[in-house]
Amino acid sequence: MGNRFFTKTYLLVILLVFLMLAALTFAIAYETYLTTTPKAAGQAQKQVNSIRQDATPQSIFLNNFFVSIPAIIPIGGPIIFGRVWFNTGQTIGQLAYSYNIPPTVYVIGVYVPVGTIESMAYSVIIAESLFLTYALSKGTILERFRNQTWKSLILYVALLAIAAIVEAGLINGS
């Protein structure tokens, strides 16, 4: 397996997961935008505005960490996280509707810069799950844990922390 962390395969898997998450975000937000009701969009807007009032880097980080850390579970983790991602895409679509902004424009606004950093963190943790699943099938999961998983976790936490700081700054106007 080797001890090199940033292999071509690892980086390629992260990139592919990142692109998949971006495509899913666009697709779910667009579909939700087309099918949501004014009432549901208004409720989403109220809920998000309420959450933003008390947003700190720590609260944003902890929320994102707790909803995404199960994604590292081999085999089922990405599926569990898929439900979180689906809900996020729906909320984005509802917010686009409530603000009367095309969903593609709203998604781009979410992705620059915060969503890009967050999605990269999620891509790292999902990629690690895929590598753990592969290692499990090969009987090398303990070697993967010892040599690579902890590095992925550090990268994931660092990216999530940076995204939380940036997001809180944008919310609070800093």
3-50, pLDDT tens digit by residue? 788 899 999 999 999 999 999 999 999 999 999 999 999 999 999 999
pLDDT at res. 2: 58
For residues 114-132, average pLDDT: 97
Mean pLDDT for the chain overall: 95
pLDDT at res. 168: 94
Is 137 within the bounds of a domain? Answer: yes
Is 151 within the bounds of a domain? Answer: yes
Give the tokens for residue 119.
């999605």
Taking the complete model, does pTM exceed 0.85, yes or no?
A: yes
Is 2 within the bounds of a domain? Answer: no
Residue 105 has pLDDT above 70, yes or no: yes
Is 1 within the bounds of a domain? Answer: no
What percent of the chain has pLDDT above 90? 92
Is 30 within the bounds of a domain? Answer: yes
Residue 41 domain boundaries: 8-171
Residue 1 has pLDDT above 60, yes or no: no
For residues 75-94, average pLDDT: 96
pLDDT tens, position by position, 2-11: 578 889 999 9
Residue 123 has pLDDT above 80, yes or no: yes
Residue 118 has pLDDT above 90, yes or no: yes
pLDDT at res. 174: 59
Q: How many domains does the chain have?
A: 1
